[in-house]
Amino acid sequence: MTEKSEFDSPLLRTALTQLDRVAERLQLDRDVHERLRHPRRALVVSIPIKMDDGKTEIFTGYRVHHNTVLGPTKGGLRYAPDVSLGEVTALAMLMSWKCALMGLPYGGAKGGVRCQPRRLSRQELENLTRRYTAEIILLIGPDLDIPAPDMGTDEQTMAWIMDTYSMTQGRTVPGVVTGKPLIVGGSAGRREATGRGIVYALYQAARRLGQDLRGKRVVVQGFGNVGAVAARLLWREGCVVAGVGDVRGAIWNPNGLDVRQLEAHVAESGSVSGFADAEPVPAADLLLQPCDILIPAAVGGQLREDNADRVKATIVVEGANGPTTPEADAIFRDRGVTVVPDILANAGGVVVSYFEWVQGLQYYFWRESEITSRLQEVMTRAFNRVWGAASKEGTDLRTAALMEGIRRVAEGYRIRGLYP
């Protein structure tokens, strides 16, 4: 596979377009701008795995460090059939802006393995994870690069990575990953952190817009860990969760879904499809249903030029990474739709991952009430900073958030200089 095809991905094109526009607005030094456009390092690995049938299959894996100017790198690991070097590079870049925006001492990283995790047995997934860890082990460590769960991975995946890394060190190293099970050094509140952070960001947006969340109709695309948590918390706050979707289908009830019963249905059946108290709708139409708040929490590139003008929500809160293309952003700006961007809205996961990392390094763990209180404080402070910057600069929240994040990384480059 050629380098051009590997790096050429829609998400990377979007990330670079965003960077270039903000760099021009910030009047960034040309040399710093060029450094920001490229990852510091990228590793592509082959992962040979003996499958349950005895045959050996080769998977391709990636780990990308975008920059290390503010500290060790931090970023998730995803298992998905469309993972590519370009996509992982874009996600690492977005993590750089996100960590800087939230005031975390991290650079951005991301990893991925091109596979279909649902088709792999538990033993095959463990073999895949451990071999992938062995292949990228020169790039990870508690003061170098700290992976975390993402699409297609979970707490168990992180436990396997931690154990594999620890075996090579001859000691237990809990700080090498975050998002681990509690029993091996995970943090209270980590599993719900991204969804909870979305709700905190939405609450601040509604407050600034003079709106009350109670009674607002909500649509959530993606009913995995992030979307389900956000839906549950908003439902408890009195929102009407009218539509949800996952990879197998989408459902709609204008009067609202009972999220508690829906979660029980998903736990039993594996999908929102077939839920008794709702009507099925085409997945593409879910984003266009009449609602006040839309939370795209599935995959990137869902809100595009061909559908943004038909979105009826007045507030879009991005739970996924890169769900809105630049063309859709322009349409939303013209229509007066408030978009709370991904690097702000879904930052709750990396914030609590930071808390977990700190706890692991100290071997001292906090109560969940402390975690949620600190998360709310960090999210609120970041939102207010972005809202203030947007008002001052006369721009939208995404541009303001990117300006804040990119400015901090660029300042790190300026202060540290260029070696040699």
CA–CA distance, 344 with 372 (Å, rounded to integer)? 17
Can 110 be counted among the known catalytic residues? yes
Question: How many other C-beta atoms can be found within 10 angstroms of the C-beta atom of residue 43?
Answer: 15
Least-confidence region, from 7-16, 22-31, 106-115, 254-263? 7-16
Question: How far is it between the farthest Cα atoms of the chain?
Answer: 65
- Topology of the domain comprising 3-173: Rossmann fold (3.40.50)
pLDDT bucket at 7, cuts 50 / 70 / 90: confident
pLDDT bucket at 5, cuts 50 / 70 / 90: low
Using alpha carbons, select from 386, 223, 207 the residue that is nearest to residue 297. Answer: 223
Question: Alpha helices of 27-121 — where are they, by DSSP H?
Answer: 30-36, 85-101
Q: Summarize pLDDT for 171-216 with one digit per residue, the tens.
A: 999 999 999 999 999 999 998 999 999 999 999 999 999 999 999 9
Rounded to 10 deg, the angle between the 225-236 and 259-269 helix axes is 160
Using alpha carbons, select from 190, 103, 194, 192 the residue that is nearest to residue 378. Answer: 103
Question: How many other C-beta atoms can be found within 10 angstroms of the C-beta atom of residue 155?
Answer: 18
- pLDDT exceeds cutoff 70 at 309: yes
pLDDT bucket at 143, cuts 50 / 70 / 90: very high
Q: Which of 98, 110, 180, 216 is catalytic?
A: 110
- pLDDT exceeds cutoff 60 at 233: yes
- pLDDT exceeds cutoff 60 at 151: yes
Query: What are the extents of the domains in the chain?
Result: 3-173, 193-345
Q: Is the peptide bond before 39 cis (omega within 30 degrees of 0)?
A: no
CA–CA distance, 104 with 95 (Å, rounded to integer)? 11
Q: Look at 11 and 221; give whichever has higher pLDDT.
A: 221
**pLDDT value for 145:** 98
pLDDT bucket at 253, cuts 50 / 70 / 90: very high
Q: Summarize pLDDT for 46-74 with one digit per residue, the tens.
A: 999 999 999 999 999 999 999 999 999 99
CA–CA distance, 258 with 128 (Å, rounded to integer)? 38
Question: Could you tell me which residues are beta bridge partners of residue 76?
Answer: 148
Q: Summarize pLDDT for 323-350 with one digit per residue, the tens.
A: 999 899 999 999 999 999 999 999 999 9
pTM (predicted TM-score): 0.93
Q: Tell me the pLDDT of the chain averaged across its residues.
A: 95
Using alpha carbons, select from 346, 359, 378, 363 the residue that is nearest to residue 187. Answer: 359
Using alpha carbons, select from 15, 106, 85, 74 the residue that is nearest to residue 43. Answer: 85
Q: What is the mean pLDDT of residues 271-280?
A: 92
pLDDT bucket at 93, cuts 50 / 70 / 90: very high
**pLDDT value for 300:** 85
Q: Would the CATH topology of 3-173 be identical to that of 193-345?
A: yes
pLDDT bucket at 277, cuts 50 / 70 / 90: confident
CATH class, 193-345 region: alpha beta
